[in-house]
Amino acid sequence: MVTIADVAAHAGVGAGTVSRVLNDSPQVSESTRARVLAAIEVLDYRPNPLARGLSRGRCQTLGVVVPFFTHASAVERLRGVVAALDKSLYDLVLFNVESPVHRDEHFTTLTRRDRADGLLIMSLPPPPASLHRLATSGVPIVLLDSRGAGVPAVVTDDVEGGRLATRHLLDLGHERIAFLGDEPGNPLGFTSSSAREAGYRETMESAGLAVRPGDVRHGPHVRAVARDLTRAMLAAPDRPTAIFAASDTQALGVLEAARAAGLTVPRDLSVVGFDDVEVSSYAGLTTVRQPLFESGRRAAELLLESLAAEEPLGEAEYQLDLELVVRSTTAAPATTPAAG
């Protein structure tokens, strides 16, 4: 294997000069640079990317801080991140977050450039003090599925997503439309479910329809919890004819509860989810598709751009479009004749 010492000997310079040429240092004369580059070509020398990164004070690693990384939506976003990094020189390190303690520990230690050259923070709004500390540490940051002052973010419009789902059900003739989502006061500060609920409430109000307290249920983001919450809604004498769930995971719990109650979907109950994860197409679930893979890819590309520029990109918002995907879990309510 050809070493940097071999190149130095061939060019008649020191190893430090070769290193400066490899790192594009201006402290090398053009004639010396040409001699070193000629030696590199003749000897077919291939620099070690890790060694080059370390010489620049980099560890050639990008960190992704992600809550509950085994959730289907997180996995799909990570696939996009990996695709963007595939031909780069950077390795990917995941920092899983399942509690505020995990989050705060990561946000404290990841300000050091020896832990990660750049950070992608997914679906996790950093507390303002933590975000300021990270942003002023010199480590480039990109937010994905959340927003923060002074840093770029890749997002979708969750409020509009709630409107899309609710309008679809209203257009089919439903009036008793329920919503099932995450606890608003969750300890990690997730906001997407609350924003989707806001879109649902706004659209119901615009249609002149009241949202009764029993028509909105909250719980941890777990399919079994969604199933139990739905069971209680469906046991009421004036049960809803349609349910909009804030995620496909929760919508699958709704479908389980409907089946257990002896209801036929969509004849007795229409169901809409959110995300369009892979299993949704197999379940025939009508859902609001957000570009999970594309959002992960775009966020990673922004981080690479920031590293190449060697300066923060500054605050900018990159919003990706949503799409309603109609499948077999929604139809006109049984009491309303279908159009046509």
Surface-to-core class of residue 5, CB atoms within 10 Å of its CB (0-12 exposed, 13-18 middle, 19+ buried): exposed
Q: What is the rounded average pLDDT of the residues 49-76?
A: 73
- pLDDT for the residue 20: 73
Higher pLDDT, 61 or 314: 61
Cis peptide before 266 (omega within 30 of 0): yes
SS3 string of the chain?
CCCHHHHHHHHCCCHHHHHHHHCCCCCCCHHHHHHHHHHHHHHCCCCCHHHHHHHCCCCCEEEEEEECCCCHHHHHHHHHHHHHHCCCCCEEEEEEECCHHHHHHHHHHCCCCCCCCEEEEECCCCCHHHHHHHHCCCCCEEEECCCCCCCCEEECCHHHHHHHHHHHHHHCCCCCEEEEECCCCCCCCCCHHHHHHHHHHHHHHHCCCCCCHHHEEECCCCHHHHHHHHHHHHCCCCCCCEEEECCHHHHHHHHHHHHHCCCCCCCCCEEEEEECCHHHHHHCCEEEECCHHHHHHHHHHHHHHHHHHCCCCCCCEEECCCEEECCCCCCCCCCCCCCC
The Cα–Cα gap between 122 and 147 comes to: 10
The residues, ordered by sequence, that sit 6+ positions from 112 with a Cβ below 8 Å of its Cβ are 137, 139
Among 114-123, 262-271, 286-295, the minimum mean pLDDT is found in 114-123
The Cα–Cα gap between 115 and 58 comes to: 9
- pLDDT for the residue 335: 64
- pLDDT for the residue 296: 97
Q: Given pLDDT bands bounded at 50, 70 and 90, which one contains residue 239?
A: very high
158-289 maps to CATH 3.30.365.10 = no
Q: Given pLDDT bands bounded at 50, 70 and 90, which one contains residue 127?
A: confident
- pLDDT for the residue 98: 82
CATH fold for the domain made of 61-156+292-309: Rossmann fold (3.40.50)
Q: What is the rounded average pLDDT of the residues 318-337?
A: 90
Q: What is the rounded average pLDDT of the residues 153-174?
A: 98
- pLDDT for the residue 50: 43
- The answer to whether the beta carbons of residues 121 and 153 sit under 8 Å apart is no
The Cα–Cα gap between 55 and 311 comes to: 18
The Cα–Cα gap between 230 and 261 comes to: 10
Neighbours of 10 (CB within 10 A): 18
Neighbours of 196 (CB within 10 A): 29
Q: What is the rounded average pLDDT of the residues 49-60?
A: 52
Q: Given pLDDT bands bounded at 50, 70 and 90, which one contains residue 339?
A: very low
The Cα–Cα gap between 230 and 215 comes to: 10
**pLDDT value at 319 more than 90:** yes
- pLDDT for the residue 100: 83
Q: What is the rounded average pLDDT of the residues 302-307?
A: 89
The Cα–Cα gap between 190 and 184 comes to: 8
In the block, tokens 């969509």 appear at: 266
Q: Given pLDDT bands bounded at 50, 70 and 90, which one contains residue 111?
A: low
Average pLDDT of the chain? 88
Specify the length of the chain in residues. Answer: 340
- The answer to whether the beta carbons of residues 237 and 243 sit under 8 Å apart is no
Helix axes 292-309, 72-85, angle to 10 degrees: 40
**pLDDT value at 178 more than 90:** yes
Is there a common fold for 61-156+292-309 and 158-289? Answer: yes
- The answer to whether the beta carbons of residues 120 and 301 sit under 8 Å apart is no
The Cα–Cα gap between 231 and 236 comes to: 9
CATH fold for the domain made of 4-47: 434 Repressor (Amino-terminal Domain) (1.10.260)
Domain range summary for the chain, segments of one domain joined by +:
4-47, 61-156+292-309, 158-289
Q: Given pLDDT bands bounded at 50, 70 and 90, which one contains residue 2?
A: confident
Q: What is the rounded average pLDDT of the residues 10-17?
A: 82
- pLDDT for the residue 244: 98
Higher pLDDT, 112 or 91: 91
Query: Whole-model pTM?
Result: 0.80
Which percentage of the chain shows pLDDT scores above 90?
A: 54
